[in-house]
Chain A
Amino acid sequence: MRQQGRFAVTCAGALTVAVALGACGGSGDVDDGTAKITLWHGYTGAQTEAITALGKQWNAEHPDQAVTLVFDGGNDDVLQKTTAGFVAGNYPDVAYEYGSSVGPLSRQPRLADLTERSQDPAVDWDDFFPAVKDASTVNGKVVAVPALVDNLALVYNKDLFARAGIAEPTPDWTWQDFRQAAAALTDKEAGVYGWSYVNDGTEDTVWRYLAMLWQAGGELLTADNKKPAFNSAAGLAALNQLRDMAVTDRSVYLDTGNQNYSNLFADGKIGMLWTGPWDLSSFDKVHYGVVRLPGYNGNHESISGPDLYMMFNRSDRKTDTAWAFTTWLTSPKVHLEYAIQTGDLPLRTSETKLPEYRSTYLKKYPGAEEFTDNLDNVQHARPNIPEYSQVSQAVGEMVQSVLLGQAQPQEALDSATETVQSVLAGS
C-alpha cells in the first residue's frame, strides 16, 4: 500500500513537470507589433449587421489597421469569457461589457486607462449623456467608451386604462397615483395585473428599487462607497410602496425571471411596466404609451443600464486603434446612423440635434423620444466597485423577501444592511 502511494505521487509529479515544460508555448497575449485588434461583442440580429458593416467601412478607410469583430457567445456570458481570456491569453483588445462588469474588471491590470485620451477635444467627451459617462469612470479614471444607454420609463397599455375607466398616466404622477391605478387595473377574473415586477433577486430586481430609492432622496452607499446608506427613510418608503402594491393590493405580477412579463404585456394581461426601449419591439400589437416614471415629491429620477466598450492593453499602438475605432463608432453621425438601424437610444446630446434624429429616427421608433428625453432624469450611476455584485445580491434578496411577503420592510432593510456592511468591510 505504501509503495502504491509513493508511485502515485511520482506519477503526479511527472505530470506536473510535463505541464510546466509545456509552459513556454503561450500565444495570443503577445504584441505582434501591428495595429490589428479584436473586438468581442454579443450583438445579435440587426445590431450584428450594423456593426459588421461599420467594421468593414473602418477597415477600408484605414488600410494600416484591421478590426476583427468576434461574436463571443452572448452578452450574458461575456464577463466570464473575458476573465477566462486573461487566463488563456486570448483576451480581446476591446470587449462589449455590461455596466455592472466595470467593478469586477476594474482590478484587471491590463485594463487600459483612457483618462488622458478622453480629454482630447476632438472626442468631445462631455457630449455623452451623464448616465453613461459616470458608468465609464472608476475612481475618477475613465476605463471605457460608452456603447449603449437605456433607462426605465413607464410603459402602459392604453386599452386597459380605457376599459378600467381611469385616466392615463401623466408625467406628474405620484407613487400614490401609480398605486391606485395599478389596483384599479387589476382584474383577477380576467387574469389582468396592474403592474409587473421582475422578482428573481438579480440586478433586474435591484435597479427598479434603486430608481425608487433615489427618487425618495436616498443613496445606496455612502459617498466614499465604504458603508451602506440605504437603511433610511427613503429606503423604507420605497420598500413600503412595493409591499403595499404586491402584498396588500396584490396588483403586481411577480415575474420569476423568465421575462414572461413581456409576453403578458403583449397579450394585454398587464397594465403597466417599468421597462426600457428594448422591450418596445415586442409590443407592436399593443396600443401603448410611454411616460416618465411616477415620482416622489416631484422627483422622477430614472436609472440607466449602460453597456460599455472596455479596452485591454497589449501595446499602445493597439490601444490607439481600439480607441480610435470605438470613438468613431460612437461619434454623433456614425452612432445616429447605427441607432436608426438598430433602435438603440442616442448616446450623445448632439445626436438629438442632428436633422436625421427627427426626420428618420423618431419616425421609425415612435416610443424612443420619451426614453431619450428621460435620459435627463438619470442622475445617479451605480457605484463602480468590485463588490457591487455582492451588494446587488443582498439588495435583491431584501426586495424579494418584501415582495413575497416573507419579511417586513424594516426587518429586511436591517438584515440587508448588515450583509452589505460585512461585504464592504471584508475586502
Chain B
Amino acid sequence: MSESSVRVSRRPSPWHLVLIPLALVMAAPLIWMVLTSLSSVADTQRFPPGLPSALHWSNFSKAWNQGPFDRWLVNSAVVSIACVISNLVLCSLAAYAFARIRFFGRGVVFVLLLATLMVPFQVVMIPSLVIMRNLGLIDSLPALIAPNLVTPFGIYLLRQFFLSLPIELEEAAVLDGASRLRILRSILLPLMGPPLSTLAILTFLTSWNDFLWPLIVNTSSDVMTVQIGLASFQGAHFTNWPVLMAGTLISQLPLMVLFLVGQRWFVASLATTGIK
C-alpha cells in the first residue's frame, strides 16, 4: 500500500477486483435511475423489471419543461454555495477556538451548541417558523440560508481535526506572538484541505437535498429549490417514473460534478499533509 500511494503504478492493480464489485453495489441506485430515466412508462410496468426497450431521451426534455427548472437550479445553487462559504469560514474560526484557546465558558458553550444537534428538525420546525416570521424572512431565499450559515456539525468536525494535529506546529508561532487568525491562516489552513473539502461537500449536499424546510417556509415559485420543484412530478395517485427519474438525475448532476472535483482535493492535499 505504501508504495502504491507514492506513484501511480503502470500495471492494473489487483485492487480493481475488490473495487469493481464494491462500486457496482454502491452505485446500483444510480444505474437504476439512469436506466429508468431512459425507459418508457410501459417498460417500468414490467415485472420483473428489465432493460429499456429503446432509449427514450425525451424524458429529460419532458422533465426540463415541467417547470422553471433553470430557476430552481439557480436558487438551489445560490443557497448551497452561500451555506458552504459561510460554513467553511465560521466553522473554522469557532472550531479552532474550541480546540486550542482556553476561553471563559468554552465547555458550556460547546456543549450547548452540540445540544442543538440532538433535537430532530421536525420538533423545532414550528418555533423556527415563528423566528423566521419575526425576522420578516418568510418566502425568501435568505430564509433557506440563514439557519444553515453555520452548523454545529461543521464545528464539531473541524474541532476534531484540530485536536488531531500536533500542537507543536503552532507553538513557535504562539511564542513569537503571532495572532490567532494569523496562525489559523498561515500555519493550519494549508493542512485543512481534507476536512474542509469534506465539510464543503457535506454542507452543499445537505442544503441541496433539504426538502422539509424549503417546503414549509417558502411558497412562491421564484424562491423554490429544485427539490421542491421535483415534488411537482409526483402526483397523488400516479407517478411517471421515467420523467421523475430524469428530473432527479438533472437535480443530482451538480452534486456529482462537485464531488468529482472536490475529491481531487483529498489527493492533492496528500503532498501538503507531509506534516513536518
Which of A44, A88, A259 is the one whose CB lies under 8 Å from B138? Answer: A88
Chain B, interface residues (CB within 8 Å), range: 35 or more
In Å, the complex CA distance between A28 and B239 comes to 34
Question: With an 8 A cutoff between CB atoms, is B4 at the interface?
Answer: no
- In the complex, B273 has a CB within 8 A of chain A: no
Report the bound CA distance from A85 to B217 in whole Å. 8
A76 is an interface residue with CB less than 8 A from chain B: yes
CB distance from A29 to the nearest CB of B (A): 9
The stretch that binds A, out of B17-25, B85-93, B106-114, B189-197, is: B106-114
A247 to B217, CA, bound (A): 46
Q: Which B residues from 135 to 189 make CB contacts under 8 A with A?
A: 135-136, 138-139
Give the CA-CA distance A347 to B85 in the complex, in Å: 53
**Total residues of chain A contacting the partner, CB 8 A:** 48
Which residues of B from 188 to 243 have beta carbons under 8 Å from A?
215-217, 219-221, 228, 231-239
Q: For residue B239, which residue of chain A has the nearest CB? A: A259
| A window 242-291: CB within 8 A of B | 259, 262-264, 266-267, 269, 276, 278-279, 281-282, 285
A22 adjacent to B105 (CB under 8 Å):
no
- Whether B219 contacts A22 by the Cβ 8 Å rule is no
- Give the chain A neighbours of B27 by CB distance below 8 A: none
- Interface-forming stretch among A3-11, A136-144, A212-220, A379-387? A3-11
A26-48 contact mask (Cβ, 8 Å, vs B): 1 or 0: 11100000000000101011001
Chain B: minimal CB distance from A382 (Å): 17
Of chain B, the residue at the smallest CB distance from A5 is B108
Please tell me if the beta carbons of A71 and B221 are within 8 angstroms of each other in the complex. yes
Q: Please tell me if A298 contacts chain B, counting CB pairs below 8 Å.
A: no
Within 8 A of A (CB), among B96-136: 104-105, 107-109, 112, 125-126, 129-136
| Complex Cα–Cα for A269 and B46 (A) | 10
**Nearest CB of chain A from residue B121's CB, rounded to whole Å:** 13
- The reply to whether B126 and A70 contact each other, CB–CB distance below 8 Å, is no
Set A4, A74, A264, A282: member contacting B238, Cβ < 8 A: A282
Write out the residue numbers on chain A whose beta carbons fall within 8 Å of the beta carbon of B108.
4-5, 7-8
User: Contacts A75-B236, A87-B130, A281-B238; is A266 near B45 (CB within 8 Å)?
Assistant: yes
Determine whether A23 belongs to the interface, using a CB cutoff of 8 Å to chain B. yes
B44: interface (CB < 8 Å): yes
Are A269 and B104 neighbours in the complex by a CB distance under 8 Å?
A: no
Main secondary structure of the interface of A (DSSP, over half): helix
Contact flag A19-B134 (CB < 8 Å), given A263-B44, A278-B238: yes
Interface membership of B47, Cβ < 8 A: yes
Residue B28, interface by CB 8 Å: no
A4-B107, A8-B105 known; A279-B238 Cβ under 8 A: yes
Contacts of B46 in A (CB 8 A): 263, 267
Partner of B219 from the list A8, A72, A263 (CB cut-off 8 Å) is: A72
Asked if A80 and B216 make an inter-chain contact with CB atoms under 8 angstroms apart, the answer reads: yes
Check: B42 CB closer than 8 A to any chain A CB.
yes
Chain A residues whose CB sits within 8 angstroms of the CB of B221 once the complex forms = 70-71
The residues of B that contact A121 with a CB separation of less than 8 Å are none
* A405 CB–B CB distance under 8 Å: no
Q: How far is the CA of A309 from the CA of B221 in the complex (A)?
A: 21
Residues of B within 8 A of A13 (CB): none
Residues on A with C-beta less than 8 A from B131 are 19
Which residues does chain B contribute within 8 Å of A285, judged by CB atoms?
A: 42, 45
Instruction: List A63-93 residues whose CB lies under 8 Å from chain B.
Output: 70-77, 80-81, 84-85, 87-90, 92
> Which chain A residues border B105 with CB–CB below 8 Å?
4, 7-8
Q: Smallest CB-CB separation from A281: which chain B residue?
A: B238
Interface contacts beyond A4-B108, A84-B125: sample of 18 additional A-B pairs, CB < 8 Å, sorted by A = A4-B107, A8-B105, A25-B134, A26-B136, A27-B138, A40-B219, A44-B234, A74-B232, A84-B129, A87-B129, A88-B133, A90-B219, A262-B45, A263-B47, A266-B45, A267-B45, A276-B237, A279-B237
29 contacts between A and B (CB under 8 A): A8-B105, A22-B135, A22-B136, A23-B134, A24-B134, A25-B133, A26-B136, A27-B136, A28-B139, A42-B236, A44-B232, A44-B234, A81-B216, A81-B219, A84-B216, A87-B126, A87-B130, A88-B129, A90-B139, A92-B219, A259-B239, A262-B238, A263-B47, A264-B47, A266-B45, A267-B46, A267-B47, A278-B237, A282-B41
The 9 closest A-B pairs by CB, nearest first: A278-B237, A25-B136, A22-B134, A266-B45, A263-B45, A84-B216, A74-B231, A44-B235, A75-B236
Chain B residues in contact with chain A, CB under 8 A? 41-42, 44-47, 104-105, 107-109, 112, 125-126, 129-136, 138-139, 215-217, 219-221, 228, 231-239
